[in-house]
Structure formats: C-alpha cells, structure tokens
Amino acid sequence: MSLLAQYFVTGIATGSFLILATIGFSLTRQVEGFLNIAHAELLGVSAFITWGLNVLAGWPLLPSAAVAIVVTSVFGLVIARAVYDPIKKLGPAVLLITSVGVAYVIGGGVDAVVGTGIRTLDIPLATTYKFYGLRITNYQLMVIALAALTAVTLALFLNKTSTGLAIRAVAANPELAASRGVDVRKTSRATWLISSGLAGLAGVMLAMIATLSTDIAFHQILKILAVAILAGLGSLYSVILSGLIVGVAMDMSVYWIPAGYRPLIAFAIVIIVLLFRPQGLSGRKAA
C-alpha cells in the first residue's frame, strides 16, 4: 500500500501540472467559443525559450522563465489577432480545424529552430524530501504550490477586477455583455494574454520536471483535452478538480498496468464520467 500511496502523491503533482496547463485552455474555450488545440504548443514555445535563455545564454532560471512567459503571452495574442480573429465569423468548427494547423506550424517552427534531441535545463538536481515513507521532490512541490497560487490569483482576478468581471460576462453571453457596455474586443485581448501567459507558466514547469524534446508539447494536448472535457463548461474549480482526478488516476494506474497506458486511463475516466454526467463535473451544458 505504501507504493500506492507514493503514486497518489506523485499524482497530485501531475494533476497540479495539468491544472496549470488546462486553465488557460478552458478560459479560451469559454470566452472565444472553440477548442484551441494550438494551446499545447505554447507550452513548448515557453519551455524552449526558457531552455535557450538558461542553457545557451547562461541566464539564471527566474529571469529566463519570466521572459519566456511574457513572450509566450504576447505570441499567443499575436496568433489570435492574425489568424483566429479574421475567421471567427466562420464558426467554432473552422476555428478548431485552423488551430490544429497552427499547432503543426508552431511545432514545425520549434523543430526547425531547436532541432532534434533531448535537452534539460541548467538547474540543480531535484532534492527529494521524505515523510512517512513517501517521497516528493522540491520541483514537484513547486508545481503544486504554483498551481494553488495560480488558481487563487485567477479566482480573485475574475471575481474582483473589472477586466475579470468583463471576461466572465463575455464567457456567459457575449451579445448581452456588449449591450451592457463591455468592450468585447478588449476583453478578448485580455483573455488571450492571460491564457497564453498561463500556457507559458505551464511550459516553464514542464521544462523543470521533464526532459525536453520538440514533440513533448503536442503530447500534452490529449491530457489537456481530457481535463477540459471532464470539467465541462463550468467554473475554475471544476478544472482544478478535474486536473487532480486525471493526474491521480493516471499515476495510480501504474500500480496495476504499464505506465505507457496512462493517457488511456485519462480518457477512460472521461468516458465513464460523461456516460453518467454528459455536462461534465461543472453541471453546465454547452449552449
């Protein structure tokens, strides 16, 4: 049972990373009305910017990460303005297909610039802490702490600031929000900056806890989709719960089945839950 408990602890860290990776994706889905598959590639952009500044330029990790998050945030906004906005009137299906193309373009660009191979950040080796026979590293603790801090900060932003309230209004009903004086275009820009910045933060965490290859970001989209689908179209809290459920289930499943089946477990959970609750954990159905 101690091994099962260890997988549970590891699953909390995995779930925390999935929360960071999915919050921005879900925010875009609610405000812009489509599944932005290219969101996962923004994690890769941030991860490799962090790696380039840290390893190639010799920068410390914190400034490397800060620059990566800011650049990724702006990059996401530029893509939205240049690619998605001109075709928004064509509907969510066209936007979804376009986002797949954007994902391949970004992935190909990263391949061309970075090249093949495995890379790691120039940071100290992880320190392992033990308690009650369980092990967790300082980097895993950092992911958990950042996920909690991000969730609390985003919740306060969405509920206590004028921009956050505007984002919630547009997510609920863009036409009604516009009629009440909300600047929908400005709110859309803010949404893209925030969601892309969150992808950038998740990318930094990915660079810290994993070895980097140019296809690692694309592999995250299936897990992000699993968490987002399980959460439904509800609140931030449903994304948090879904991320933890998927992360813990994937890691604890290794106790019984080979680790290569972890993504299968994620979607098996989604299918089982949606059979009994089609609207997802949030309790809200798509319009």
The DSSP output letter for 281 is T
What whole-number percentage of the chain has pLDDT above 90?
Answer: 55
Q: Which pLDDT does position 284 carry in this prediction?
A: 54
pTM of the entire predicted model: 0.90
Residues in the chain: 287
Cα 112 versus chain centre, distance? 24
User: Closest by alpha carbon to 224, among 64, 91, 12, 38?
Assistant: 38
What backbone phi and psi angles, to 5 degrees, belong to 60?
Answer: -65, 165
Question: Is 267 a member of any domain?
Answer: no
Question: Is 280 a member of any domain?
Answer: no
User: DSSP string of 76-134?
Assistant: HHHHIIIIIGGGGGG-HHHHHHHHHHHHHHHHHHHHHHH-SS-B--S-PPPPEEEETTE
Question: Is 196 a member of any domain?
Answer: yes
Question: Is 252 a member of any domain?
Answer: no
Range of the domain at 213: 2-218
Question: Is 256 a member of any domain?
Answer: no
Question: Is 266 a member of any domain?
Answer: no
Question: Is 225 a member of any domain?
Answer: no
Number of C-beta neighbours around residue 213 at 10 A: 15
Segment 56-70, tens digit of pLDDT: 999 999 999 999 999
Counting beta carbons within 10 angstroms of the beta carbon of residue 41, is it exposed (0 to 12), middle (13 to 18) or buried (19 or more)? Answer: buried
- Rounded to the nearest 10 degrees, how much is the dihedral formed by the CA atoms of 195, 201, 202, 206? 150
Q: What is the full per-residue pLDDT of the chain (287 aa) written as tens digits?
A: 588 888 899 999 999 999 999 999 999 998 998 999 999 999 999 999 999 999 999 999 999 999 999 999 999 999 999 999 999 999 999 999 999 999 999 999 998 988 878 888 989 888 999 888 889 999 999 999 999 999 999 999 999 999 999 999 998 888 888 988 889 899 999 999 999 999 999 999 999 988 888 888 878 888 898 888 888 766 678 888 889 999 998 888 887 887 777 778 877 887 887 787 776 666 555 43
**How many domains, the chain?**
1
Q: Which pLDDT does position 233 carry in this prediction?
A: 61
Question: Is 230 a member of any domain?
Answer: no
Contact 171, 30 (CB under 8 A): yes
* Cα–Cα distance measured from residue 14 to residue 209, given in angstroms and rounded to the nearest whole number: 10
